[in-house]
Structures are given as structure tokens and as C-alpha cells.
Amino acid sequence: MTTKQQKVVELENVVVRFAGDSGDGMQLTGALFSDTAAIAGNDFVTFPDYPAEIRAPQGTVAGVSGFQIHFGHKEIYTPGDTADVLFAMNPAPLKKNLIWVKPGGTIIVDTDTFTEKSLIKAEYTSNPLEDGSLKDYNIIKAPISELTKKSVEDIGLDNKMILKSRNMFALGIMFFIFNREFAVADEFFEQKFKANPLVVESNKKILRAGYNFAETIEALSRITYKVEPAALAKGKYRNITGNVATAWGLLAASEKSGRNLFLGSYPITPATEILQELAKHKSLGAKVLQAEDEIAGIVSSIGASFAGSFAVTSTSGPGLSLKSEAIGLAIMTELPIVIVDVQRAGPSTGMPTKSEQSDLLQALYGRNGEAPCIVIAASSCANCFYYAFEASKLAMEHMTPVILLTDSYLANGSEVFKIPKMSQLPAIKPPIVKADDPDYEPYKRDPEKLNRQWALPGTPGLRHRIGGLEKEDGSGNVSHNPENHQIMCEYRAEKVQRVANYLEPQRVFGPKSGELLVVSWGGTYGVMVETILEMQKQGKKVSLAHFHYINPLPKNTAEIFKGFKKIIVPELNLGQFVYYLRMHFREFTFEQYNKIQGLPFMVKELADKFNELLEEK
Amino acid sequence: MTNNTTTAQKIPTLTKEDFVSDQMVKWCPGCGDHAVLSSFRKILPEIGVRKEDIVVVSGIGCSSRFPYYVKSYGFHGIHGRAAALSSGIKIANPKLQVWMITGDGDSLAIGGNHFIHVLRRNLDINIMLFNNRIYGLTKGQYSPTTPTGQKTKSSPHGIIEHPFNVGELAIGAQGTFFARAVDTDPKLMMEVMLEASKHKGASLIEILQNCVIFNNKTFTDITARETRDDNQIHLKHGEPMLFGKNSDKGIILKGTKLEVVKIGENGIKEKDILVHDKYQWESGIHLLLATMAPPKYPMALGVIRSIADFTYDDKMENIIKQEKENNPIKNMDDLLNSGKTWDI
């Protein structure tokens, strides 16, 4: 598409950040840009960064919404620490995002928005475009508002409408810089504004105006960039967010088990999309009850599980707190249920749109009585699909609640997902009792797994009663017998521990022995891999063990720890997994590294910390 | 799908013995719960549902031990959550007939939220709320229905709260069926239980139930032999609202209020007496009837309200059926490959 002589520079990987007011359409701009990366065959990871308020006052730092994409022709694991290119639609996004731009990085601004009034709103005391404070960056000044208006003045749309499309002018500029095709965006306009051909036309024009503008101005036109396709395995791909991947993993488990999915859930940031996504798929038999509260969400699921559905509830930390008593009921009645906790920054309401790993101990222990359940954690947007599937399989085959931990960062982020074939996924075989089984007893256990069986109401010959009171071993009748209580508590604990016999062994990324082992879990996987890869390239003897199975832990865990002189556990909390590991493995010394700012780790800070440990004698 | 279709199935003849579990009933001697249990076991063979399609669900409290004593599928839940459990069971398998057993503490205090929402959704389940106006299992604290001023263990100076009226709350929550019975009248209990089981939608039966230990005689003015005729009125659809030993007292609407009158006095004739219409959509008269109480009025018993409206479970099944027919996404492979994808 380039017409004049220019240099095309090939890049390994690039981080681009779009930032504007929360009404500026930054998420959409980012999503469209991601689609072009997909078409170009790049690997990518994206991350939206938006405020808790839906529309905070326009032009203020509080109302800034951002979208970051990291794409490349190598494998991409994170949305990137800092941006190579920042697109700032107004002064406030510039103010808020400057710290996330690489020194020497490119910043594109809409100069029309740098008025005295908006500078004051953004709390600037002088105009950053003029006061020299941005001298270390490559600033591209573009009168975007004005040019957007001009480009469609003949179409006859009102000004307000036109200015809403400013983001498409910005996208046009990016299309030029990164040599992208118009087709993806055009298709989108035609779909989205089907009813209004004028809007389709104006968006197309504005997009091209942005492109042409970039081609014309000196500062941009000399160099454009190209990111070659990534070496991804052959197959069919799509872009997927963690929440959608979670919902689909659950649906896949429903299909594989032959049990209709039931979700009881109450809207809560950042888990709501799971509820919304599952509500769409009634053609797959999914029944979704938007419950009156978090408690009804899980309790209705327990009811549905009793009745034979594959039952799920989805929530975030505050909701998990409310569900505690009911999780105990599911543990006592030994019914399968998956509890998805999309973690966010706590305690209490905390920072609802920010990510954290601070619900781990709640998931493990936040209940009255001896109440163990399986706890597993997904580690990437795409593998939310597989861990949701795995959580469901374990719940149904072992007859127990499973808590699946994801987090805000995985849930809202997106990445390239290789589409699996359903025939490749393992079977799920819940222990359902046949009608009129003469040997049926509600609490008779499988000798291997120790699970009880699932006897579904409506089945002749299996009428029985269960509940939250302690059960007599075998018969399931109410029992206050002291010895029986001990036996049952031990059964429930042992049943969960035996799940380890059915898990994949823990893997090590890098050599199986060395100076330093990094032990991490959950949503920090991408940044850990990126850090470890970089350090290994420098010849450092560091490996990574990233955990997905928390309770029970994989059986080879201690074996792995033995191979290293030092172990460090970095977490986005004050040290919950490290506390758990210290309790279980008293023979090892665990260093810890904790960040609790509602933000992900950055490669640099991790590498600094790990290097410090390697140098210490 | 509904009670009607299950009726159509061939159901072997059952007796109440088919519904007696092997568990010892552990309520206090003289407790009203015994009578409710006995009535319930008697109606189960009559309701036209296969015995394995009956599920009895409860929360916590004396009444909530009920499922252990009925030979059926049963689930004794946690405090206040019986409505949520029942909802999940019914939505998951609408062929089941769900009976939810609860109490004034379980459903009006800790479970108040679930209680109003299950009524609002009009899920096709049957709810028996045992109202004894006290917390029995925790030994004598006041409940949301204990009258103002009553001294209990947790209100030594007398209650300073306003009690809930169950019927008023249920109708306010858009309940489509409300009936009231007393534990001393098995015939009436069975009558309203049978009607509740036939009603499509959430059916609520309030059973005025005596706790012999912690709140004995709380309903004596209504149930005692010497006063009951004047303090009870059995409402029957299509019949005038008459009561009293000689059936000579009646209810009329005067202005916007109900009034008790005597036939023959002040020129009142039987045709002046209100005729009960349980199917009336407008809830005004039903609310007035539900809130009547001695000494000014008799307590209304029987089916007070029973209106036809759509149920959550029917709507859900219909949408699923339509979606399965019309949605191009038939299975997970379809879904995974839907929307924007690309090949590498």
C-alpha cells in the first residue's frame, strides 16, 4: 500500500498503547488493531486498562481508558512492560500513560485537544508539547480533531457524531506505520453500522484520512514497520479473552460429560462476562440463572448439581467470601460444582478493575470446619479454556467442588488461541448411579478415588436424602457419632489429596537443576517466562516452575525443589503461595518477592530481583 | 415438564407408607410439625407424581428436618437458602416436583432475599412455611413474625419491631399462590397442599404452627375450640365469606376497608357479603384478606390467592427449545469455529 520511497524496518515485537477518555472508543480501536495483527499472522497478547467508573468526568486523569497490545513474530507471553508507541487522544491520557512509554518511544497526540482548559483538567501546569518535558520521546503532533472533521465535511453528519470517530483517524495512522490492510476495519464498519450507510462511509473515509495524513507528514513517512508472522503451529486460530475462554471451557466440559450446564451467578467485576457469555449459549443447553445475590448463585448451583446438571458459579473475591458457607455445603454433600473466582484487588471492594493474586488463601481455607476442596489456577487468557475444562472434569469425576482461580488480568486480556477439536479433549465420566441399583448407598465410596456416587432425582430406586449435617459413613444418615465424624473428615481430606494421582506432573521451564528456581502460579506465567527466557539467554542458571494445581500439589513438587540452590516465589500479594509452600515443605527455604499495586509484574523488576539473588552468596 | 404432564404418566397406586423414611422423627412431643408431616405423607399418593420425581428441600430450623422424614429425594440445605436450592433443582430438571419446607426465621429473616425472589420469578415449586413466631432450634429468640411487645429470650423488654405478615409479603413479592392453614386442621392442610401441588408457579402455604416449648399457645385464639369459629374464616372460591358458629357473620367491603358484619343486623343480607375470588388478578382484596387478624377480624384460612401467570421454568425450557432449533451453533465445535478465525 505504500506509494513512495520509504524504509520498512522489521521488528521482532512491538508494544502499542491506545489511550483516551473512557468514551473515546479506545477498547474498540485496540480490538480492531489486534484483528489486523491476527490477519498478519502475528502472535499477540492484549490488555485493557480501564477505570472502575463507567464514564468518569471527561478529560480527567481518572477517566482514562487504555488498551495495550504486544505483537510479534516470536511467541508473545505478556502485553509488554512499556509501550514503543503511545497514542494519546487528549492531555489526560498522556499524563497518565507517560510512565508506560519506553524512553525514546513514539508518542502520537491530537494537538487540537491540548487547549488551556483541557490541560487544566488533566492537571498540567504547562503545555507538555511546548515545555520541553517530552524531549526524550519522539512526539508526533497531529491535529486529529480538525482533520477528522475536514475529511468528512461533505457527508453531512453532525460534528458530535464525527468527533466520535476520531479514534478511527488514529487507527488509520497506526495502519500506515505498521503496514496494515484496511479490509478488517472496513468489514467491521459494514457489519456494525449496517443500518446507517452514511456512518459506514464516514468511518472508512476517516480511517483513510488518518492513513494518508501519516504518509504525508515528514516525521512519520520515512520509516514504517513490519512485524513478520510468528512461527505458530499450523492450524485454525482466533482471538480470545480469559473470561470467554473460561466460559467455553465450561461449555466444552458440559458437552463431554453429557450433563447440561447450569450457571447461577450474580454480576461482579471482573467476572460478569462469564455470566453474559454463558447466557448466550442456550442452544448448547446452558441454563443461566442471574441470581438475586452471590449466595443464591452458588446455592442454586448446588441444587442444580443435586438434580444432575454440571453446575457452576462465577464470581470475584468479595463474592467468594459470600459463598463460603455454601462451598462447605457442597463439600459436605460431596456434589460436583465449579466455582470460578476471577480475582481482583482487595480486601473488601478494593480496586475492582485491577488485578491481584490475593484470594489464594481464601480459596484454600476460607470456610468453617475441615473443608478441603480442589484449587487450580489458569495462567493465560487462552489456557483459561483448558483449566476450566480440567476443573469441571475433576469436579464431576471426583464429586467435589473445585475452585478455579483466574484474575482480572487474564479475564480481560486477550491472546491468540489455537482452536481445538472437541474430539481431542479427554472424556469426562461422572459416576452416575443406574436406576434400581440394589447396592446403592448415598455415601458409599469408590475405593480408588474415594468419591461417592451421583444419584439423580427422578431415577427409580435411588430415593435418598442429603444435607449439611454430618453423615454416617456409607448410609449417609445424619450422625453425631464422634468416631464417624473423624472418619468422614479424613475421607473428605484424603479424597482431595488423591486427586494428585490423576494430575500431570509439574513441569520445569529450563534445566532441572541450577542456582535459582522461580516458583510462581496463576496469571503471572507470561511475565515469568519472558523474564526467565531473557536471563537464560544471558547464561543465568535459572529455571521456572509455574504451578496450576495448588490443592493438591503435583506429586513431584518436592523433587523439583531439590534440584536448586535457591527458590524464590514472586506473587502479586503479600506472600500467600509461599506461606502455603513453607507449611508443606519445611525442608526448603523459600525467598519471596511481592508486589501489590493492582498491576502486573514487569520483566525488568523481576530480572533485577532474580539477579540480585544469583549474585548473593 | 409440568405437574400436568406428570399426571398423564401411569403412576402405580401409592399409599402414605411409600413416603415414610427409616429415620426416627425427632420433633418434640406435641409439636405441630407432626401433624403437617402426617398430612403431607397422605397427600403425596394423591398428587399424581411419580414417587421418584418428588424432591423435598429445606433450610435450617425445626421445620427443616422435614426432608429426613419423607421417603423421597431430599435435600436439607443451609440456613435461609432453601429457596435458592429449590430454584436450582427445578430449573435443572423441571420434571421434578419440588416441595420446599421452611420456617419464619429461615425464609423471612436470613433467607428473606431468596424468598421474595423465588416468588417473583414464579418458579413452579411448592413452599410450606411453618410459622411458629419463634426460633425454636436456637431455643426461644423472637422471629420476624413474633408480635410487637412479646418478651422472648432476645427481647427481655418486649419486641420493638414490626412483624411481617407472610401473606402480605408474598403478595407484595408478586406471589401467584398464597394459602394459609393451621396445624390443628389436617383436612384443611391436605386441601391446600393438594391445591398448591396443582398450581403452576410458586405456591406458598403458611402453616400456623404451634411450638409447644418456646411459644406455646401463640395461635390459641385462632385454634382453640371455644374461640376458633369466631376467629377463623375458611375461604372458598365462589362462596360468600361467612364464618361464626352459626355461619351468620360475614365480611363486607366498606369504602376501602373490610368490615365484619352480622347477617340480620343493620339490614345486612347474605347477598351483601363478599364472595371470594381467588383467581382475581388485582391483589387488593387478597391483601386485605391476608392481613386480617383477631380480635378485629377472623384469620383467613384456605386458598386466598391463586392466579395464572407464566413460570420461570416454562419460559426457560421454551427458550432452550427454540434456540436448539434455530441457532446455527449446535455444538462446541461450531462455537469454537464461529466468528472471526484465521488459518496459519
CA distance from start to end of chain B: 47
With contact defined as beta carbons under 8 Å apart, do B189 and B36 qualify? yes
Q: Do residues A271 and A379 share a domain?
A: yes
**Does B335 fall in a domain?**
no
Q: Do residues A530 and A491 share a domain?
A: no
Q: Do residues B317 and B233 share a domain?
A: yes
> What per-residue confidence (pLDDT) applies to B3?
46
> What per-residue confidence (pLDDT) applies to B119?
98
**Does A232 fall in a domain?**
no
Q: What is the pTM of this model?
A: 0.94
Minimum-distance CB partner of A422 among B55, B332, B343: B332
Q: Do residues B166 and B93 share a domain?
A: yes
Q: Do residues A108 and A222 share a domain?
A: yes
Out of A196, A227, A258, a domain closes at: A227
Q: Do residues B41 and B55 share a domain?
A: yes
Minimum-distance CB partner of A35 among B58, B68, B340: B340
CB contact under 8 A, A302 and B117: no
Minimum-distance CB partner of B344 among A237, A457, A458: A237
Q: Do residues A301 and A338 share a domain?
A: yes
Which residues, 6 or more positions from A256, have their beta carbon under 8 angstroms from its beta carbon?
A: A389, A393, A422, A425, A426, A427, A428
Q: Is the pLDDT of residue B85 over 80?
A: yes
Q: For residue B77, what is the nearest residue in chain A, using CA coordinates? A: A467
User: In whole angstroms, what is the distance from residue B41 CA to residue B62 CA?
Assistant: 18
C-alpha cell at B74: 431430599
Q: What are phi and psi of A502, to 5 degrees?
A: -115, 5
CATH number, domain containing residue A343: 3.40.50.970
Quote the number of domains for chain B.
2
Neighbours of B334 (CB within 10 A): 14
Minimum-distance CB partner of A465 among B68, B333, B341: B68
- Tell me the pLDDT band of B106, cut-offs 50, 70 and 90: very high
CB contact under 8 A, A309 and B52: no
Q: Do residues A110 and A201 share a domain?
A: yes
User: In whole angstroms, what is the distance from residue B118 CA to residue B110 CA?
Assistant: 15
Q: Is the pLDDT of residue B15 over 90?
A: yes
Q: Do residues B244 and B101 share a domain?
A: no
Q: Do residues B252 and B234 share a domain?
A: no
CATH number, domain containing residue A550: 3.40.50.920
Q: Do residues B124 and B74 share a domain?
A: yes
With contact defined as beta carbons under 8 Å apart, do A379 and A409 qualify? no
Q: Is the pLDDT of residue B31 over 80?
A: yes
Q: Do residues A528 and A496 share a domain?
A: no
Quote the number of domains for chain A.
4
**Does A120 fall in a domain?**
yes
Q: Do residues B136 and B256 share a domain?
A: no
In chain A, which residues have their Cβ closer than 8 Å to the Cβ of B81? 295-296, 299, 326
CATH number, domain containing residue A128: 3.40.920.10
**Does B26 fall in a domain?**
yes
Q: Is the pLDDT of residue B35 over 70?
A: yes
Q: Do residues B110 and B244 share a domain?
A: no
Q: Do residues A486 and A519 share a domain?
A: no
Q: Do residues B138 and B209 share a domain?
A: yes
Closest among A204, A457, A577, A298 to B93, alpha carbons compared? A457
Q: Is the pLDDT of residue B299 over 90?
A: yes
Q: What are phi and psi of A114, to 5 degrees?
A: -85, 60
Residue type at B277?
D
Q: Do residues A382 and A483 share a domain?
A: no
Q: Do residues A523 and A396 share a domain?
A: no
- Tell me the pLDDT band of B99, cut-offs 50, 70 and 90: very high
CB contact under 8 A, B92 and A309: yes
User: In whole angstroms, what is the distance from residue B319 CA to residue A394 CA?
Assistant: 30
**Does A2 fall in a domain?**
no
User: In whole angstroms, what is the distance from residue A31 CA to residue B160 CA?
Assistant: 59
Which residues, 6 or more positions from B59, have their beta carbon under 8 angstroms from its beta carbon?
A: B77, B78, B79, B80, B81, B82, B102, B103, B106, B107, B110, B111
**Does B232 fall in a domain?**
yes
CB contact under 8 A, A285 and B76: no
**Does A507 fall in a domain?**
no
**Does B159 fall in a domain?**
yes
C-alpha cell at A86: 503511545
Q: Do residues A273 and A358 share a domain?
A: yes
Q: For residue B26, what is the nearest residue in chain A, using CA coordinates? A: A478
Count, residues in chain B: 344
| Domain coverage including residue B270 | 240-275
**Does B341 fall in a domain?**
no
**Does B18 fall in a domain?**
yes
Q: Do residues A308 and A390 share a domain?
A: yes
Q: Do residues B187 and B266 share a domain?
A: no
CB contact under 8 A, B88 and A281: no
Out of A201, A227, A253, a domain closes at: A227
Q: Is the pLDDT of residue B5 over 60?
A: no
With contact defined as beta carbons under 8 Å apart, do A204 and A218 qualify? no
Q: Do residues A152 and A51 share a domain?
A: yes
B92 lies within 8 A of chain A by CB: yes
Q: Is the pLDDT of residue B9 over 70?
A: no
Out of A202, A227, A252, a domain closes at: A227
Residue A324 C-alpha, separation from nearest chain B C-alpha, in angstroms: 12
B101 beta partners: B58, B128
> What per-residue confidence (pLDDT) applies to A421?
98
Q: How many Cα atoms are found within 13 Å in the side-chain-facing hemisphere of B93?
A: 25
A544 beta partners: A509, A518
Q: Do residues B231 and B268 share a domain?
A: no
Residues of chain A with pLDDT under 70: 1-6, 52, 54-55, 219, 221
Q: Do residues B260 and B130 share a domain?
A: no
| Domain coverage including residue A189 | 7-227
